[in-house]
Amino acid sequence: EGQLLESGGGLVQPGGSLRLSCAASGFTFTNYAMSWVRQAPGKGLEWVSTILNSGHTVYAESVKGRFTISRDNSKNTVSLQMNSLRAGDTAVYYCTQLDYYAHRIWGQGTMVTVSS
């Protein structure tokens, strides 16, 4: 079935940076596009970024130019480098596996809090 395990969340000051990681297991990592989806406290889900098998990357307008998604196929990991963080970026960040254009597998999430 596959599993995803996120790490790297925490408390960061506005303007700061944080790097999230997601370790994949139980499926052939190179066969799938991967995404990050976030959820602000008490709010709905928001798609953040996707990286295809080819390495092509796409971002939501709200994070474009500040966030960078990458993948290491040798380690079965996907990362999200977040710079110039704002209070509005405070959320639980989920790593997801994309299959048939749906977010099939979800990690447990990692909390990012941007506050002074």
Partner 1 sequence: QSALTQPRSVSGSPGQSVTISCTGTSSDVGGYHYVSWYQQHPGKAPKLMIYNVNSRPSGVPDRFSGSKSGNTASLTISGLQAEDETDYYCCSYAGNYIWVFGGGTKLTVL
Query: Based on CB atoms, which residue is closest to partner 1, 25 or 74?
Result: 25
What does each C-alpha distance from 80 to 4, 11, 100 come to in angstroms?
14, 16, 23
User: H-helix or E-strand containing 70?
Assistant: strand 67-72
Query: Based on CB atoms, which residue is closest to partner 1, 33 or 85?
Result: 33
Find the binder of partner 1 among 28, 31, 41, 56 (CB under 8 A): 56
DSSP annotation of 84? S
Asked if 33 interacts with partner 1 (CB under 8 A), we say: yes
Asked if 102 interacts with partner 1 (CB under 8 A), we say: yes
Asked if 107 interacts with partner 1 (CB under 8 A), we say: yes
Query: Based on CB atoms, which residue is closest to partner 1, 56 or 74?
Result: 56
Asked if 45 interacts with partner 1 (CB under 8 A), we say: yes
The residue type found at 81 is: Q
Query: Based on CB atoms, which residue is closest to partner 1, 61 or 74?
Result: 61
